[in-house]
Amino acid sequence: MLDALGQILPIGIGVALSPMPIIAVVLMLVSARARVNGPMFMVGWLLGMIVVGGIVFLLAGPAGATDHGQPATWVGWFKIALGALLLLLAVKQFRGRPHEGEEVAMPKWMAAIDSFTPVKSAGIAALLSGVNPKNLLLIIAAATTIAATGISGVEQAAVYGVFCLIGTIGVAIPVVVYFSLGDRAPAVLGRMQTWMAKENAVIMSVIILVIGAKVLGDGLSTV
């Protein structure tokens, strides 16, 4: 179980350090429904990870992710493919970074965050955590890694639960700041949003590059 935790820890940190969702929750925390929408965003984010991970576990079990206590050969090849996709995504992110003097383009839906209901806030968060290409690949990699360790179903659920909690830290920090700093929170959150928006592409490309290399290396060591 500890071995499984060690393997998925860096992947969970990669999910947590997702600039766009952090920017989204910061914008919600300076809107009229901040006290409800911020926590609901966290809940939706967590649910998105749980649903995608659950699907992977349901598929990995019958497929035989382990072979005599070791990861099955197909898991190795699958990780190689995932790692390669992550590396390609890292290159795409880096090449798409804004150049000096260019304005950072934000997704159009962020302009409507002030009008979001709690349900919509949770729904957007679930999509960002479970369907966003970067997070989707990372969650699949983590769940496959856990399934391939050969530990019991209860232990797999516990390890994946820890992974989900780690992956939620990034969007949880602004919420904690909002509720703990009071009147000082908007200034702190504003600085966080500005920095995240400016460095989004670089942060994402570095994170994806490092974790993609790890997943690829894990796959190569398995086949």
Predicted confidence pLDDT, tens digits, the chain (223 residues): 777 788 888 889 888 988 888 989 999 998 888 899 999 999 999 999 999 999 988 887 665 556 555 666 777 788 888 888 888 888 887 776 666 656 666 778 888 888 899 999 999 999 999 888 888 989 998 998 888 887 888 888 999 999 999 999 999 999 999 999 888 888 888 888 878 777 777 777 888 888 888 888 878 877 6
Tokens of 95: 């090449």
- Quote the pLDDT of residue 67: 58
What Å distances lie between residue 118 and 18, 25, 42, 71, CA to CA?
A: 21, 12, 11, 41
- Quote the pLDDT of residue 70: 63
Tokens of 189: 């959150």
- Quote the pLDDT of residue 95: 77
- Residue 158: half-sphere exposure toward Cβ, Cα within 13 Å: 10
- Quote the pLDDT of residue 51: 94
Number of domains in the chain: 1
- Quote the pLDDT of residue 103: 63
Do the beta carbons of residue 141 and residue 56 sit within 8 Å? Answer: no
Range of the domain at 73: 2-222
The DSSP secondary structure of 81-144, one letter per residue, reads: HHHHHHHHHHHHHHHTSPPTTPPPPPPGGGGGGGG--HHHHHHHHHHHHHTSHHHHHHHHHHHH
Whether pTM exceeds 0.75: yes
Do the beta carbons of residue 149 and residue 4 sit within 8 Å? Answer: yes
Alpha carbon distance 119, 40 (integer Å):
7
